Amino acid sequence: MPEGVPNPENKVYKLIKSLYGLKQASRQWFARLNSELEKQGFVQSKNDYSLFINGYLNDMCIAAVYVDDIILTWPNFALIVSLKQHLHQVFSIKDLGALSFFLGIEVSRLSSRIILSQRKFTKELLSYCSLDLSKTAKIPLPLNLKLLAEDGDFYHDPSQYRCLVGKLNFLTHTRPDLSFAVQTLSQFLHAPKTHHFQALHHLLRYVASTADQGIMLQASTQLTLQGYSDSDWAACPNTRKSVTGYVMLLGNSPIYWKSKKQSTIYKSSSEAEYRAMAAAASELTWRSHQSNSSEAQL
């Protein structure tokens, strides 16, 4: 309590506005930003509450929000400048210019293509692991590798194994080629063995030799949603379950991918393939519904 206030022991502070660091600060900030964007004609997506849309089709402005980081995209550059000036007057924002780095993902532009990669994160990961990665690997895991849960000696530093697999899991945001290997190694986080870490070491050598890889988003006149699925059959030596893998494309650009062990043991490869196809079809249906509902909001 400031000096000079009579009877300070019987006084309390009343906050005029939320203070940074308080429990409700982030909620209050998002509510304030939401209110201001709605005043500018934006509609909050019901599929993703961090996404705001203004306009329709060829004149659509999209605002993607993560706490206090905002991405704006609009065909009309002048309107983007006007919106940023308004937000600056209200919130005193910092304009970082064209998008180049967001949430650990680097953005590069080549004519009608955009490349998303995590080169900076990859270099930090490789320097953190402190392993000899001079010998390159051409594939994520050795061919015909069978990792057993019970055989072999326990790895002496399980926390290192868990940390590295967790970092690699974050890397799959722009590296679909790592999805199957990461989901395989993630099965042994509770009790990693020496041969599990050897497989992890092989994967890190592959990452080191492909550190600049990412995903490419291409402009397309026909944004059709399509998917491809596949499955092995009883490939897991511990459970005899199959693994489903699929990728979703919007036009020619990958937007979603997954590698996951199936919940049921199937007696034939046909059953496993149908299960993978059903999972991919369900994902396509849901994402198609998301797209249609977003248009319906406008």
Q: What stretches of the chain adopt beta strand conformation (E)?
A: 43-44, 51-54, 61-66, 69-73, 101-102, 105-110, 113-117, 214-218, 225-231, 243-250, 253-261
Cα 141 from chain centre = 23
CA distance 58 to 75: 7
229 forms bridges with which residues in the sheet? 246
Give the pLDDT confidence score for residue 271 in this predicted structure: 92
Render pLDDT for 2-54 as a digit per residue (tens, 0 to 9). Answer: 788 777 777 887 877 777 888 888 888 899 999 999 998 899 988 888 999 98
Q: For residue 19, with 0-12 CB atoms within 10 Å meaning exposed, 13-18 middle and 19 or more buried, which class applies?
A: exposed
What's the confidence (pLDDT) of residue 210?
93
Render pLDDT for 92-112 as a digit per residue (tens, 0 to 9): 888 888 889 988 899 998 888
**Around Cβ 211, how many Cβ atoms within 10 Å?**
16
Q: Is the pLDDT of residue 297 over 70?
A: no
Q: 192 or 3: whose pLDDT is higher?
A: 192
- 291: confidence class by pLDDT, cuts 50, 70, 90: low
> Residue range 71-77: average pLDDT?
86
For residue 292, is pLDDT > 70?
A: no
Residue type for position 240: R
State the average pLDDT for the chain: 88
Q: How many CB atoms lie within 10 A of CB 232?
A: 17
| Residue-level pLDDT at 298 | 42
